[in-house]
Amino acid sequence: MNLHRSFCYLALGFVASCVLSSTPVHAASTAPMTDAQKAALARQVREELLHAWNGYKQYAWGHDALKPLSKQPHDWYEHSLLMTPVDALDTMLVMGLTEQADEARKLIDEKLDFDQDMYVKDFEITIRMLGGLLSSYQMTGDKRLLALADDLGRRMLPIFDSPTGMPYEYVNLHTGAVKGVESNPAEIGSLLLEYGMLARITGKPIYYEKAKRAMIELDKRRSKLGLVGVGINVETGKWTNGTAGIMGGIDSYYEYLLKCAILFGDKDCERIWKENIAAINKYLADQRPDGLWYGQANMETGQRTTTYYGALDAFFPAVLALDGDRDRAVRLEDSSYRMWNFAGIEPDRFDYVKMQVVNGEYPLRPEIVESAYYLYHYTHDPKYLAMGQTFLESLVKYCRTDTGFAALSDVRTKKKDDSMESFFFAETLKYLYLLFAPPSTLDFDAIVFNTEAHPMKRSLATPAAVR
Ligand code: DMJ
């Protein structure tokens, strides 16, 4: 089906009032929600996006991001790469915010220039910028967005010129110089969807070949138990940290193995994913009396090292659900929700045995919302709507400022931090909106989301063109 037609403007049919019940403490309500209630919640999410976008426009227009407490602009590097507009554009298109999408697109078309003499982190730039440009191109047909994506992809290609083929962490967008030999599976293996889609659309297979080789080289270094660690040197190919887990640093490597198999029909990805998920469920899954969690283990021995779960790990129910393992997905999302309710909003790291916050930061992360959206799509269980309602309520209560939304430096004190990451626009609000909006808003089965929630069309992705 045509993705352009699968997005629709949803203003009609929304009721004016917003119905929010009190926050559940342990288990989400299983009471059904009416279409009018869902529509009201979707509309509220859209209003919150507009609120944050207007703050960005007023205080940080043309910069990467807004600092929502000091009302100052923030740029990641010496020159702005318009991180917020690029990341937010397809969310605004999904929400039918045509005027705002047009102003973002105009800014990008006129001002975004990758010919900058500065080092950028290739993982972040790939998932946010390349992913955002490609999905927005697919939704709008704006060829300038594709030209920018192609230009960016070409400038970043030197990252793969290491002795192993695994990418360096940073590249200078003007000179092509690279640096950063200490990397991890997430940063090495999570370039494949964006580079694969770029290869497919531009007809330049080199993009896919380079990203795929990086992933294969990483896979060659799996332990005999089938696990990967969280630190590796891309020049020597030696592990620098042998802790295995699904946490940040590894997370989207696993996500991309499965999604590469789905999006490109790639048989290597499918085989490697199947081998990895077996090892993950054998050594990392941790069934406790209170539910299912995933912790850390030594990649060589399989011995449990720590029992940490956190906001980033909460992407995994979505991956399990996408893989058809609904049972584990449901149980893990229940645990994630328990973690969210422990302090009223989720911490970045939580010890699920001691039931203690280990790192109390909350940078407005999306993963738990993403998983609720997937699970509602697959099960239609209203408890995921109730979860979403809790997430929205907590965000408004603890993070909203007069210019947007602020990260929390500690979920226990609810002290705000002067940061509003672009993934709040790209992911958190998009998944929250899609959870409540009619399924026809976005045809779930016609796309695959990259790890920054940028939807990529499945129909364009034929294996022959990207091999
Ligand atoms: C996002 O940039 C991506 O989802 C990434 O895979 C992990 N971290 C953030 C959001 O938490």
Q: Are 200 and 460 in contact (CB under 8 A)?
A: yes
Q: Tell me the two tokens of residue 441.
A: 């808003």
In terms of C-beta density within 10 A (0-12 exposed, 13-18 middle, 19 or more buried), how is residue 402 classed? exposed
Is position 421 annotated as part of the catalytic site?
no
Specify the ligand 1 atom closest to the Cα of 248: 7
Is position 144 annotated as part of the catalytic site?
no
Residue 397 has pLDDT above 80, yes or no: yes
Residue 40 has pLDDT above 80, yes or no: yes
Contacts made by residues 57-62, CB under 8 angstroms, sequence distance 24+ = 57/103, 58/403, 59/403, 60/84, 61/107, 62/107, 62/111
Q: Ligand 1 pocket, 252 CB below 6 A?
A: yes
pLDDT at position 26 is 64
Q: Ligand 1 pocket, 450 CB below 6 A?
A: no
CATH for 1-81+311-453 (3.40.50.300, 3.60.21.10, 3.40.50.1820, 1.50.10.10): 1.50.10.10
Residue 241 has pLDDT above 60, yes or no: yes
> pTM of the entire structure?
0.93
User: pLDDT (tens digit, 9 = 90+) per residue, 281-290?
Assistant: 999 999 999 9
Q: Ligand 1 pocket, 313 CB below 6 A?
A: no
Distance 452 CA to ligand 1 centre (A): 6
With the most atoms of ligand 1 within 8 angstroms of its CB, the residue from 64, 365, 373, 430 to mutate is: 365
pLDDT at position 20 is 30
Q: How confident is the model at residue 460 (pLDDT cuts 50, 70, 90)?
A: confident
The boundaries of every CATH 1.50.10.10 domain in the chain are 1-81+311-453, 114-306
Q: Ligand 1 pocket, 365 CB below 6 A?
A: yes
Is position 304 annotated as part of the catalytic site?
no
Q: Tell me the two tokens of residue 116.
A: 């900058």
Distance 233 CA to ligand 1 centre (A): 22
Residue 269 has pLDDT above 70, yes or no: yes
Specify the ligand 1 atom closest to the Cα of 252: 6
Q: How confident is the model at residue 19 (pLDDT cuts 50, 70, 90)?
A: very low
Is position 124 annotated as part of the catalytic site?
yes
Q: Ligand 1 pocket, 390 CB below 6 A?
A: no
The correct answer on CATH 3.40.50.720 for the domain covering 114-306 is no
Q: Ligand 1 pocket, 423 CB below 6 A?
A: yes
pLDDT at position 441 is 97
With the most atoms of ligand 1 within 8 angstroms of its CB, the residue from 419, 422, 423, 424 to mutate is: 423
With the most atoms of ligand 1 within 8 angstroms of its CB, the residue from 427, 430, 432 to mutate is: 427
